[in-house]
Structure 1
Amino acid sequence: MNRQPPVRAEYQRELEPLPAMAVAHPLPLIQRLWNQTWLRKSVIILVLLLLWQAGAMWENNDLMLPSLWQTGHAFIEDMFNGTLPAKIAISLSTLLRGYLIGSLLALVLSAFAAATQLGRDLLSSLTAMLNPLPAIALLPVALLWFGLGNSSLIFVLVHAVLWPMALSTYSGFLGVSETLRMTGRNYGLKGIRYVIYLLIPAALPAIISGLKNGWAFAWRTLIAAELVFGASSGKGGLGWYIFQNRNELYTDRVFAGLISVIIIGLLVEGLVFASVEKLTVKRWGMQR
């Protein structure tokens, strides 16, 4: 008895030619320009500057709210005479040291929490106690322990960066799927190699978000701390620049110092963090 399936005859089907498709018209120039992120953000900033100028003209009081042109003149003048660059250099050098130390400690603490139960208990206890504590409230303690100077500022900055970044990083570690974790274990990843080669790349969006939050907290804390330390020691960075000009009623220079903080924040966000995201999480398809 023949159990072989019947062989079907081969045939060729002729396909009908595709109908002529209409060529899509390019988008209008205005829509193409509006699709550019940098242009949309520039329009937002321009609108805010115009609102500032309109508010200054309506207030008509240079002491309360200087105009955009007065602030720009003060900013350019202090940039060219070297006052603002020197203050910015002092603030950034202190900020980067505290930020790097706090970020490294947060990563180590989060990795320890992801690997052990003791680490999880330690992280949850410390964040519950210390994260609600404002960094500026540690100024008296910093003065007693480290005295006046950069050491006290760095101590306060580390506190400001450590806890929000540790929470964000640990949340990213918890979000790593169990399938990916088992895959890493099957490849023999354990200990520090498990954290470096699996957890950190998988949780990178949350880590970058924590770095952004830590940077913002560090800037706020630094300016507030320099207002106090600068007033005590007679020197400091942008915070002392703002404090000194406020005492001398140079409101345009006060706003020039605030504009400097904003510009640095925009540059770090637009150049550093945006480039890191573009080269990592966006390139890997982990973020839109």
Structure 2
Amino acid sequence: MLRDHSKDDNVVSVLVEGKDSDYFRPRMGAIFADLRLPLAYRNVRGKNNLKKLVRAVLGNVALERCKFAAFFDRDYEHDLAEILIPQAFVTDGYSIENYYTGVDSVRQSVRSLLFSDAAHSDDDDKVVEEVCALYVSMQNAFHEEVRLFNEWAWVQRHMPRDGALELDRFDTFKFIEFDRLGLTLKSTYSLDDLNGLAPDRRAVDLGEIATARIWFSSRDAAISFRGKQEIEFTYEFLREMIDRAALGLLPFERKAKCSKRLSYVEIVSELSAYACTPVNLISFLEVRKSFWSSSS
């Protein structure tokens, strides 16, 4: 950032935790199109690195005029006080991925992937709505099966223990069976299995799980549950719909070919156009735009 700022003090450093630039780039580009401010996107590889970098920038006199915006995942809100600063946007839900998993985003994805956004007949519209209804039903079922994992992970964040923790060790579709014929989901893991994912840490007990359950009881699972699992489910659902459409199986009434690429590795990029853009993100960008334009 110091190098970028020394070359051009108008450059805006856009700081993200991971591979989130493909979500923010088109949204920022649209809002900042009329300003001659170059946007430099920087993946700092992790939330802790981003927090450290922001603190370093704010504490460096040489960078006091530096233009930057930081984008944080809310996660389970265990560090919210550290990241609520004017220069930062914090996601409404767990992470960027949660913006991709709402039914409206899935509706737009289905229309584009399987109908190429063409003018639909009433029958096609009916199919899209049937797919969306199925998605909502299956997503609710998925949340019941992944709930214990989220409660366990919440405890790990809010009641910290010594020892290593890697939430990615929870392999969603090894711990949850997806019956593609019957379109049902069933968890195959227990609290003991979850504690086994972090063997160096004190085991989470049922009392702590009950505390986590109270916290989640006032929140929408689609927003507050860990984004990685949420988008994995959305991807698997879309892949199943694509496969069914190719064969003309229910809920599709005729064969339909997927017209675009869909891969899990690049899903944040490939489905960016259909992801939710919350009003508070637009407001944040507009405020930063006004501030930067007046200070240029």
TM class, shorter-chain normalised? 0.3 to 0.5
With CA pairs under 8 Å and 6+ residues apart, which has the higher RCO, 1 or 2? 2
**Higher helix proportion, which one?**
1
- Normalising by the residue count of structure 1, what TM-score does the alignment of the two structures yield? 0.35
**Higher strand proportion, which one?**
2
